[in-house]
Amino acid sequence: MLDTRQLTGKQRLLIQQLQPQQTIESLQQFCRQRAIDFNFAKGFLLSGVIDDWVQLQALSETAWVLTDKGEALQGRLPGSNLVDKLQRGVSEVSQLQMLLGQTFSLAYGALRKAGAIDMQGSEGEKEIVVLDAEKLSTYQQRQASFAAIAQGAASPDTYPDVHLDWLQQQGYIAEKTATDYRLTISPRLAQLDLQPLVTALTSELLLSEQWREVELKSYNIHDPVPDIAYGRPTILTQCIQQIRDIFLNMGFDEMSGFLVETAFWNFDALFTPQDHPAREMQDTFYLSQPQQLPLPEDAALIEGIQRAHEDNYGGSWTTEVASRAILRAHTTSSTARRLYALRGRDGKYFSIDKVFRNETVDRTHLAEFHQIEGVVVGELLSVRTLMGYLTYFYERLGFKDLKFKPTYNPYTEPSLEVYAYHAPSQRYLEVGNSGLFRPEMLGSLGCGEKATIAWGLGLERIAMLLYEVEKLSDLAGPDMRLQGPL
């Protein structure tokens, strides 16, 4: 017995349309009249599901259709336009050439080959002569048959066989056999109960217990569903992972710090004067709660930093300003903490962390972004070592062409800005800043004067270049279409 709940909506509809019928002479025609997809109807009827009610008898019907070669003629046999003109009495070659343009020579060739026409006369006064008028009219009849087939009048009985043979020999038309079916429908089909399907189980259906009677639509778990790429790491996360791997493979350890930081670790420990413009509210986010955070308990450290500032910058350095709570403006605060912990021991550290700046947000600036911080303490380090590390790192990411430009930071000397070539915009973009820490800073952190190289690179800039993203803000947010090379 047929379980009508298994039927799809489309299949029910077809059955409903078959129910009132007894016989259907042509399924093709039946479908055409009701805008039913013939292949769907045929497939369903052949599937056997309703074999008990509907009998199929295969019929085949032959029709003429144009071949690709025939289609290319766009409804006109080569030569038929020339026949038209000749039959209207135009015979001068120069005039025919004007009327028929480029198609003239093709048409002439075709008819001449058939022995229907020829050319006479001397240069400038050439004329077409008709050798066989009968052949010309045959040609026109072929054209009529061809045009009729092109327009879809397909029944072979309509045309004299001779023309069809010729058109077929030329490869312009072909016979196509279309399959059709004759249907005999049992009166019992009309008794099949096809109640409308209930697609949603509502609380009313449950409370009234009607759910027991209604026909519930069954789930189709085989239909393809949209491919939603959920649960994928964001581009930035992918970049962070790749960069982390590069540094770990270079023997670096990962360090971390604090998002909320004291001005002390963000500025003072980095030999940045207390009246430096970077500390102003336009550039740095100050917390109102708490406004201050405790400074390290190491009195010698505080004293050393105070001395370094007062000796070099003059004026007075206050713990008041140093203890202001801020959102860290760079991850070099983590580096300062790490150097203080190392006190001159060797080491290689990196971090990839978020920083905050009170910037005007635009295409290439955000108020919060990530920095790739790195610091190396060791023997025989120089500007060349620094450039070597950076070149190697960017090369691993695929940036071959780097430029370094001198710059100024309160805590490094020399200081180098790093630029990478951005092929799509054909220019160099600033991707980072770096340098060798100043002895004034290293000394006050208890690191002696050991050469220490360090850098802070922009993560979003790298991602922008790698993924050819136009606006930094496109890197964050819900757009899941961004898929890069990683």
Q: How far apart, in whole angstroms, are the C-alpha atoms of residue 302 and residue 306?
A: 6
Nearer to ligand PHE, 145 or 434 (CB): 434
Nearer to ligand PHE, 91 or 351 (CB): 351
Nearer to ligand PHE, 81 or 444 (CB): 444
Q: What DSSP string runs through 135-174?
A: HHHHHHHHHHHHHHHHTT---GGGS-HHHHHHHHHTTSEE
Label each residue of 186-229 as H, E or C. Answer: CHHHHHCCCCCEECCCCHHHHHCCHHHCCEECCCCCCCCCCCCC
Binds ligand PHE by CB under 6 A, chosen from 262, 412, 444, 452: 412
Least distance in angstroms from the C-beta of 413 to ligand PHE: 10
Least distance in angstroms from the C-beta of 378 to ligand PHE: 16
Q: How far apart, in whole angstroms, are the C-alpha atoms of residue 463 and residue 482?
A: 11
Binds ligand PHE by CB under 6 A, chosen from 163, 279, 309, 330: 330
Tell whether residue 410 is a contact of ligand PHE (CB under 6 A): no
Tell whether residue 70 is a contact of ligand PHE (CB under 6 A): no
Least distance in angstroms from the C-beta of 433 to ligand PHE: 4
Nearer to ligand PHE, 91 or 331 (CB): 331
Least distance in angstroms from the C-beta of 350 to ligand PHE: 11
Nearer to ligand PHE, 180 or 373 (CB): 373
Least distance in angstroms from the C-beta of 455 to ligand PHE: 5
DSSP 134: H
Instruction: Count the alpha carbons within 13 Å of 170 in the hemisphere toward its beta carbon.
Output: 21
Binds ligand PHE by CB under 6 A, chosen from 28, 409, 444, 452: 409
Residue 65 CB neighbour total at 10 angstroms: 15
Whether the CA torsion 253, 434, 386, 414 is positive or negative: it is negative
415-454 footprint of ligand PHE as x/- string (CB under 6 A): ------------------xxx------------------x
Beta carbons of 376 and 348 less than 8 angstroms apart: yes
Nearer to ligand PHE, 309 or 370 (CB): 370
Task: Kindly report whether the peptide bond that precedes residue 294 is cis, defined as omega within 30 degrees of 0.
Answer: no
Least distance in angstroms from the C-beta of 483 to ligand PHE: 30
Least distance in angstroms from the C-beta of 359 to ligand PHE: 12
Nearer to ligand PHE, 181 or 455 (CB): 455
- Residue 456, strand partner residues: 373, 433
Q: What DSSP string runs through 59-101?
A: EEEEEEEE-HHHHHTTT--TTHHHHHHHHTT--BHHHHHHHHT
Instruction: Count the alpha carbons within 13 Å of 387 in the hemisphere toward its beta carbon.
Output: 14
Nearer to ligand PHE, 128 or 454 (CB): 454
Q: Which residue is nearest to ligand PHE (CB)?
A: 456
Least distance in angstroms from the C-beta of 284 to ligand PHE: 12
Q: Is 327 helix (H, G, I), strand (E, B) or coil?
A: strand
Tell whether residue 332 is a contact of ligand PHE (CB under 6 A): yes
Least distance in angstroms from the C-beta of 323 to ligand PHE: 21
Least distance in angstroms from the C-beta of 355 to ligand PHE: 7
Least distance in angstroms from the C-beta of 236 to ligand PHE: 18
Task: Name which of residues 120 to 159 contact ligand PHE (CB under 6 A).
Answer: none
Q: How far apart, in whole angstroms, are the C-alpha atoms of residue 161 and residue 134?
A: 17
Nearer to ligand PHE, 159 or 369 (CB): 369
Q: How far apart, in whole angstroms, are the C-alpha atoms of residue 133 and residue 137?
A: 6
- Type of residue found at 71: E
Size of site (CB under 6 A) for ligand PHE: 10
Nearer to ligand PHE, 234 or 415 (CB): 415
CA angle (280 as vertex; 276, 285 as ends), nearest 5 = 130
The overall longest dimension of the chain from CA atoms, in Å, is: 121
Q: How far apart, in whole angstroms, are the C-alpha atoms of residue 340 and residue 335?
A: 9
447-486 footprint of ligand PHE as x/- string (CB under 6 A): -------xxx------------------------------
Residues forming contacts to ligand PHE in the complex (CB under 6 A) are: 330, 332, 409, 412, 433-435, 454-456
